[in-house]
A = this chain, B = another copy of it.
Amino acid sequence: MAGGDAVTGDLDDESYARAALTYLAEPADRRLSELIRVHGAPRTLDAIRSGRLPDAGRAMPRAAMQRAMERWRVRLGELPTPDDVIGFRRSGIRLIRPGDPEWPGQLADLGDEQPYALWLRGNADLRFSCLRAVAIVGSRAASAYGSYVAAEFAASVAARGWAVVSGGAYGVDASAHQGALGADGVTVAVLACGVDVAYPAAHTELLGAIAAQGVIVSEWPPGRPVSRLRFLVRNRVIAALATGTLVVEAGERSGALNTARHARDLGRRLMAVPGPVTSDISAGCHRIIRDWQGMLVTSAVDVVEHLSPVGEPQALLPAAGLAALAESAPATPQATQRRPASRRLARPAIDRDDLDLESAQVLDAMPGRGAMGTARIAQRAGLAPGTVVGCLGGLASAGFIERCEGGWRLRRA
């Protein structure tokens, strides 16, 4: 089976091979990345299946590669068929890979630790949502203060058209997702298990709401459980997807500091919320500010200002702030994805013709003047409200529409 674009159903060889590889290898396996780089995903999958190491061409240590091969082959029995992968779509689970329209280009910043593919569940378009995205992360054992601040900041940045990325965990993560959802914003949960796994179990309902209004993301295939290591590996994706990372509350040994370190190493903006020096759970935030040159932020306006290009008047009253954001959508997706701090022009982030079908329907359903509520827009578009909510968030992130008192309205050209 040579590489190529033979289509199985409507799943091409490349997509199928990458889907299969997420079953065999843990993410960020540099040996696998190197094989994929040299041979392509389909030939790499074939090699693992046959157990015959291809000629890597480069200086890869044979013995180490052989050990990796043995590791990958352990799970060969779990490999899905192409029809299995296509079948997931019926349960709302889709696979994206580099080159797909929904693939967020900024993940390339991860280099040879870029995900082989991503499994998604939810109504929002991932690339679309992450054109302007803030990661809000922190301690699982958040205090009342941390939970309040996470929800408040998330709601506020979401209302300004920024997606909120987090990890779906207890504490700060949950409050951040809830805050964004409460503001009818888009939120992205990057899990350390399959997108269909309810972990933690108490978050079944929250994850359902995220899928309805945002999107759930994982590097692991459906059904795969969490592990301690997976949380850490996952963190780099949270950091890479977002324009900047905000740590709300984190102890000195919190996993949120790991996410913060990834954000810093990726050249993303790093921010932290201060707290009482008498609270151990703010110690990590203080370390970020003092030792890692993280920005001390005290409000969502600070966050949006810090993530927006210099010269844009963001620090206005909330209403005016929204208007200002409307003027500042990025010129191209690339500009936002790769260079969050670069100058953006006053038009939508992507071309209207590049919208997916449902988003285009929702945009067509928007009134030419004035505002309209979500239910009415759904009715006019002929789409389910849950679908419309996801589309609206994406359209707002991309700069086509904005929230206002009466619901949503077109942004002025």
- B276, A275: Cβ atoms closer than 8 Å: yes
The reply on A240 being an interface residue by CB < 8 A is no
Q: Nearest Cβ distance between residue A190 and chain B, in whole angstroms?
A: 26
The reply on A342 being an interface residue by CB < 8 A is no
Of A2-10, A193-201, A289-297, A362-370, the one contacting chain B is A289-297
Output the residue of A275, A276, A286, A299 with the most chain B CB within 10 A: A276
CB interface residues, A 80-139, toward B, < 8 Å: none
Partner of A289, one of B148, B273, B275, B296: B296
Q: Nearest Cβ distance between residue A41 and chain B, in whole angstroms?
A: 46
Q: Nearest Cβ distance between residue A6 and chain B, in whole angstroms?
A: 56
Output the residue of A145, A149, A273, A296 with the most chain B CB within 10 A: A296
- B290, A277: Cβ atoms closer than 8 Å: no
The reply on A333 being an interface residue by CB < 8 A is no
- A277, B298: Cβ atoms closer than 8 Å: yes
The reply on A399 being an interface residue by CB < 8 A is no
Alpha-carbon gap, A275 to B274, bound state (A): 6
- A299, B277: Cβ atoms closer than 8 Å: yes
- B274, A277: Cβ atoms closer than 8 Å: yes
Alpha-carbon gap, A31 to B274, bound state (A): 45
Task: Specify which chain B residues have a CB less than 8 angstroms from the CB of A289 in the assembled complex.
Answer: 274, 289, 296
The reply on A278 being an interface residue by CB < 8 A is yes
Task: Specify which chain B residues have a CB less than 8 angstroms from the CB of A282 in the assembled complex.
Answer: 274
Alpha-carbon gap, A145 to B277, bound state (A): 9
Task: Specify which chain B residues have a CB less than 8 angstroms from the CB of A145 in the assembled complex.
Answer: 276, 278
Task: Specify which chain B residues have a CB less than 8 angstroms from the CB of A299 in the assembled complex.
Answer: 277
What are 30 residue pairs bridging A and B, where the CB atoms are less than 8 Å apart in the complex? Answer: A145-B276, A145-B278, A148-B278, A149-B277, A149-B278, A273-B277, A274-B274, A274-B275, A274-B276, A274-B277, A274-B282, A274-B286, A274-B289, A274-B296, A275-B275, A275-B276, A275-B277, A276-B276, A277-B297, A277-B298, A277-B299, A283-B298, A286-B296, A286-B298, A289-B289, A289-B296, A290-B295, A290-B296, A290-B298, A296-B296
Alpha-carbon gap, A299 to B145, bound state (A): 21
Alpha-carbon gap, A277 to B295, bound state (A): 14
Task: Specify which chain B residues have a CB less than 8 angstroms from the CB of A297 in the assembled complex.
Answer: 277
- Chain A, residues 146-180, CB within 8 Å of chain B (1/0): the string is 00110000000000000000000000000000000
CB interface residues, A 253-278, toward B, < 8 Å: 273-278
